[in-house]
Amino acid sequence: MRDQVRVVLYGVGAIGRMVAQHLLRRKGYIIVGAIDIDKEIIGRDLGNVVGIKATIGVEVTDMVDDLLGSVKADVVIHATSSYLKDTYPQIMRCINAGLNVVSTCEELSYPWLKYPELASKIDRAALEKDVTVLGTGINPGFLMDTLPIVLTAPCLRIDSVKVTRMMYSGDRRISYQKKIGTGLSKKEFEEKIKTKEITGHVGFFESIAQVASALGWSIEEIVELPPEPVIAERELKTTYLIVKPGQVAGLRSIAYGVVNGKKVITLEFISHAGIEEPYDEVIIEGEPTIKERIIGGIHGDIGTVAMIINIIPKVLAARPGLLTMKDIISISASLGDVRIHLPRARLY
């Protein structure tokens, strides 16, 4: 059997740690490096940081170029920031070290429309170094782009695509509950919208651009409305705090894409502590109309970690360049030893 897939973690925060925990349990993977800027974990062994084993022989480091320049690896799992302005130099360092990249960076999931120059630079560098770069996750990456794209396959005509994520937030990470304004007053919420401490969902723009591109629609305009607070009507208990009636339970965000003067792609993200029946829904109006629903929805963190891990063999087998989900071979879980999924991959 071929060598194990050698992975570097770039970003050992909440998602990076979950990825590490799962990779350490899976066959066919070996983690060979870990990068973070958090002084609390620099110098500590990754096994200890993620709580799986006392030591795995990999110390977390902030010496990015030293590590990337010397490590023998196949792929970097990159999970540091949602924004391409932050992640662009990090991604380029990985590419220049000759490493494939799978990133959770939301704006990397389809950067061609918002950042065409950065996207071209990443693409050219990746082609030159013969590596593949992909941004993915549960959303963007699956629920509001890949899944609706796949669901259009049985359609002869499409008038519009609408996706709604109705997500219960009361059991999510505390940092997430804060991010959607849980427990704030309406005034505090509106203040934090102004200061951009509350941004709503990041990835609407990219998902709309990707769906339009997959369908062959020329998008004229993408509009992201500011998030609105959802006010609690009754007391709501979460893992973070108790939301009193009149306080903010979470938020509602909406964005749409315009083609030929019509709103043809609408994405709605509703996340608060009072949702009793969460779901993820896709409605494609056309011939035929398709009404699809995932009952209970998909947990964001688990979904993102799974997307990242399942896509690794697809990325290693893909053509070089900056890819987006619509360029990837039909996606699926990759169970068992990852190496059985790699008949033609370029491994170190």
Among candidate residues 255, 256, 230, the one with its CA nearest the CA of residue 177: 230
Binding a second copy by CB under 8 A: which of 42, 71, 328, 347? 328
User: Interface with a second copy includes 16 (CB under 8 A)?
Assistant: no
User: Interface with a second copy includes 108 (CB under 8 A)?
Assistant: no
Interaxial angle between packed helices 14-25 and 300-317, expressed in degrees from 0 to 180 and rounded to the nearest 10: 60
CB of 298 to a second copy, least distance (A): 5
Binding a second copy by CB under 8 A: which of 68, 215, 248, 255? 215
Tokens of 263: 């709103």
Binding segment (CB under 8 A) for a second copy, from list 30-38, 166-174, 178-186, 293-301? 293-301
Binding a second copy by CB under 8 A: which of 9, 230, 305, 315? 305
Other Cβ atoms closer than 10 A to 283: 17
Alpha-carbon distance 332 to 145, whole Å? Answer: 15
CB of 295 to a second copy, least distance (A): 4
CB-based burial label for 218 (10 Å; 0-12, 13-18, 19+):
exposed
Q: x/- contact string, 124-143, with a second copy (CB under 8 A)? A: --------------x---x-
Q: x/- contact string, 270-289, with a second copy (CB under 8 A)? A: -----------------xxx
Inter-CA distances, 279 with 151, 165, 299, Å: 17, 6, 10
Alpha-carbon distance 173 to 192, whole Å? Answer: 19
Q: x/- contact string, 151-190, with a second copy (CB under 8 A)? A: xxxxxxxx--------------------------------
Number of residues that bind a second copy (CB under 8 A): 54
> Of the two residues 92 and 151, which places its CB atom closer to a second copy in the complex?
151
CB of 11 to a second copy, least distance (A): 19
CB-based burial label for 141 (10 Å; 0-12, 13-18, 19+):
buried
User: Interface with a second copy includes 231 (CB under 8 A)?
Assistant: no
User: Interface with a second copy includes 309 (CB under 8 A)?
Assistant: yes
Within 8 A by CB and 6+ apart from 191, the residues are none
User: Interface with a second copy includes 147 (CB under 8 A)?
Assistant: yes
Binding segment (CB under 8 A) for a second copy, from list 69-77, 123-131, 235-243, 306-314? 306-314
DSSP 44: S
Inter-CA distances, 179 with 54, 158, 202, 314, 348, Å: 33, 35, 11, 32, 39
Inter-CA distances, 211 with 64, 107, 216, Å: 35, 15, 9
Binding a second copy by CB under 8 A: which of 44, 114, 121, 326? 326
CB of 93 to a second copy, least distance (A): 28
User: Interface with a second copy includes 340 (CB under 8 A)?
Assistant: yes
Alpha-carbon distance 24 to 273, whole Å? Answer: 33
CB of 69 to a second copy, least distance (A): 32
Cβ–Cβ < 8 Å for 61, 55: no
Residues at the site binding a second copy, with contacts judged by CB under 8 A = 22, 138, 142, 146-147, 149-158, 214-217, 287-296, 298-299, 302-303, 305-307, 309-311, 325-337, 340-341
